[in-house]
Each structure stands twice: as structure tokens, then as C-alpha cells.
Structure 1
Amino acid sequence: MTTTFYIGSGFQNIETVRKLAGTLMHEGLRQTYDWTQNDKTTDEEQLCAIGEAEVRGIKDADIIVILLPGGKGTHTELGIAIAEEKKVFLYAMDNKWSDEERKVTFYYINGVTIIKGEMQRLITAVKETAEGYRLSCQV
């Protein structure tokens, strides 16, 4: 069984999201939804379709990665992931975890893991979790 992932973030991080997704897919994981293929829009019908696809992508994923700082919907993605009891990894690309605005209650609950330091630490944590998930599915 292939472990699946979803990456939540904002348009300002689009290249990093694409690079991380490519790395995880190279490691054998499957991305449930790639929102980076969308253009920014204010059209309500397009927003509805994109929002529904993103919710489905989160629900279908085994692992959720949230890259901070995010966009307008990033914390909504986090909330859906928490409500769906997904394994969540938070990674701040600017590594500013001591800033007061980063002290969000939901970052510190069970099921959410904060990764600090180099992005390779995030990749390693996701790969290890995916491997554990694959092993538990084989039992």
C-alpha cells in the first residue's frame, strides 16, 4: 500500500512545495492533490472546485505537511487534518518558532509534530512515518 501525502502552504512557497512533493514522490509516496497547479483566482465557482479538491486531498492523505509561513487557507488545511486525525508535520521555512505569532495552540496537540532545522529533517521524518505506516498495513 502506497503512503499518501498532502502539502499545505501558500502561493509564496510554491516552488518549495513542488520540490518537496517531487522528493517525496521519488521516495515512493503518492501526492493526493497538487494545488500548485492552480492559478490564483477570485472566481467563486473556481474557488469552490479548488476548495473541494483540497479538502478531498487532505482527507485522502495519510500524512499532512504544513509549510509555514502559509497562505490564507493554510490553517484551514491544518484544521481539517487535525479533525480527520491525520499525522501532521509542521515546518517553518524561516525557522522562526520562537516568534509569538507562531505560538498557536493547535501546533502543540497530539498528532502534530513540529520539525525544526534543515528541510532534510522534515523529509526524513515523513519517510520514517511512511515506512511505519506501510509496515502496519502489512500486519
Structure 2
Amino acid sequence: MGQSEVEAVKNSDILIAILPGGKGTHIEIGIAIGNDKSVLLLSENEEVFKVDNAATFYFLENVYRKPLILDKVYSEVLAIKR
């Protein structure tokens, strides 16, 4: 159980994570980072992106932090260059 989720992340072009997430969210983010995938972190509460509240890997080169605005999600994904 869970292997299909690991394979899905490995086979993705980008991982989109909506924060705060569930139990597996940060695991999936870690799998994506470990497999050199781009990660788009979205949250309605931008406080989670502040240095005092965020995990250090939120600030890696291939990790993008954006406010969750439903009308803009598609354009945010297209803007990420691999």
C-alpha cells in the first residue's frame, strides 16, 4: 500500500500540494524533491510560507510557494519551468 502513490509522484512532471495537507503531504513533497521534480505549494494562509513557520525545503530552487487562488492555479503551473 502506498507504492502506487510513490510511483505516481515519480512519474509526474510536477507535484501540486495544497497546505496544510494530510498525513502524507510532506512525504509526497519529499519524494518529489528527491526525484528532482518541481513542487508547487499552495495555501490560502500565506503564514505557512514564512520562515518561522515553514519547513526548510520549502525554499529549495525547485519548490514554488504561491497563494491558493483557484482562478490562477492553472497559470501558476504553466509558469513553472522545469
The TM-score by the shorter chain falls in which range?
0.7 to 0.9
Q: Does 1:93 align with 2:55?
A: no
Aligned to 1:113: 64
Aligned to 1:83: 34
SS in 2 for 1:61: coil
SS in 1 for 2:46: coil
Please, which runs of 5 or more residues in structure 1 have no aligned partner? 1-47, 134-139
Checking the alignment, whether the CA contact within 8 Å between 1:64 and 1:86 is kept in structure 2 is yes
Q: Does 1:123 align with 2:39?
A: no
Question: What whole-Å deviation, never above 9, does each CA across 1:7-66 have from its counterpart, x for those lacking one?
Answer: xxxxxxxxxxxxxxxxxxxxxxxxxxxxxxxxxxxxxxxxx2xx1110010000001101
Compare the two structures and name the one with the higher strand fraction: 2
Please, which runs of 5 or more residues in structure 2 have no aligned partner? none
- TM-score with structure 2 length normalisation? 0.83
For 1:95 and 1:125, how far apart are their aligned partners in 2?
16
- Sequence identity, in percent? 33
Give 1 or 2 for the bigger CA radius of gyration. 1
- TM-score with structure 1 length normalisation? 0.52
Compare the two structures and name the one with the higher helix fraction: 1
Task: Give the alignment partner of residue 15 of structure 2, picking from 54, 61, 64.
Answer: 64
